[in-house]
Amino acid sequence: MEKQDLKDMNIRLYVHNMEVDPMYDFINERTEYMPDYWLNETDVPFSVSGGYVEVCVNYTTYSYIRSIKEHQSPLDI
């Protein structure tokens, strides 16, 4: 059996529904703009109008995102 590591994990991110395209562009290094994101659905503030979506990324992509900007939390508001 192959050795397992963190690279096999998928991470769920919650992003404002209007920020999905900018997130995709950032991940693919087409822009420097990094939208806010949350790791827990319950942390998404009520002020996110229009809703949010769940985006799943692999651990390598998440590490890249996190190296630029930490996730948002209720304490940041």
More confident residue, 4 or 18: 18
7 with 64: CB under 8 angstroms?
A: no
pLDDT at 45: 81
pLDDT band at 77 (very low <50, low <70, confident <90, very high): very low
DSSP string, 10-48: EEEEEEETTSHHHHHHHHTTS-S-----BSSGGGS-TT-
pLDDT digits (tens, 9 = 90+) for 7-59: 778 999 999 999 999 999 999 999 999 998 998 888 888 776 778 999 999 98
Task: Write the single-letter amino acid at 52.
Answer: Y
Q: Can you give the pLDDT at residue 74?
A: 55
Residue spans per domain, the chain: 6-71
SS3 label, residue 54:
strand
Measure the CA angle with vertex 52, ends 12 and 21; round to 5°: 80
pTM for the model: 0.78
